[in-house]
Amino acid sequence: MTRRLWFERRFALGLPPEAFPEIVERVRGTPARLDERIALVPAARYTGRQGDAWSIQENVGHLLDLEPLWAGRLDDLLEGVQELRPADLQNRKTHAAGHDEKTMAQLLAGFRAAREPVVRRLEELPRTDLSRTALHPRLRQPMSIVDLFFFVAEHDDHHLAAISALNRSYARP
């Protein structure tokens, strides 16, 4: 099965505030879905690479690496900036982090610990804040808080799918 490349994806933004509860549930559920997915992967496959693609463990570490970006972009929107802070499109943090030298348990616990405060903040937001917008620096589209966390949920799912694909590829003869 061919997967879409993240940087080639386009997103239908402008989601209504009514979509927010379901999006928050997706974002809240990623640590549990990640735990479940990793439980199905033999530990011997965690750090194996296929070509230049990240290992399963590096995909998990990348999710952890981006949590400060998502929290910072939420700050940006609440502060009323014109343009959201940019991401490092070369993913230098993930490439330099040495995630394969860590334990999977450390990465999973770190991701859960980083995601929980963001979810708590989202749950406490007044509805009036959900329509605040700022320009996404790469997509060049206005993005609301609802759109931002839809984007986060899609990014989470992208890496969960990458982990599943890697695990399946090792299972093939």
Nearest to 63 by CA among 113, 2, 137: 113
Find the mean pLDDT for residues 84-89.
Answer: 95
pLDDT tens per residue across span 99-146: 999 999 999 999 999 999 999 999 999 999 999 999 999 999 999 999
Task: Write down the pTM of the prediction.
Answer: 0.93
Q: Please report the pLDDT score of residue 173 as a whole number.
A: 53
The CA-atom distances, in angstroms, between 24 and each of 20, 74, 125 are: 6, 13, 11
Q: Tell me which residue of 120, 150, 157, 158 sits closest to 16, measured CA to CA.
A: 150
* Confidence label for 172 from pLDDT (cuts 50, 70 and 90): low
* Interval 7-66: pLDDT, tens: 677 778 889 999 999 999 999 999 999 999 999 899 999 999 988 889 999 999 999 999
What pLDDT is stored for residue 7 in this prediction? 60
What confidence category does residue 3 fall into, taking pLDDT thresholds of 50, 70 and 90? confident
> What is the full DSSP assignment across 12-28?
-----GGGHHHHHHHHH
Please state, in angstroms and rounded to a whole number, the distance separating the CA atoms of residues 57 and 65. 12
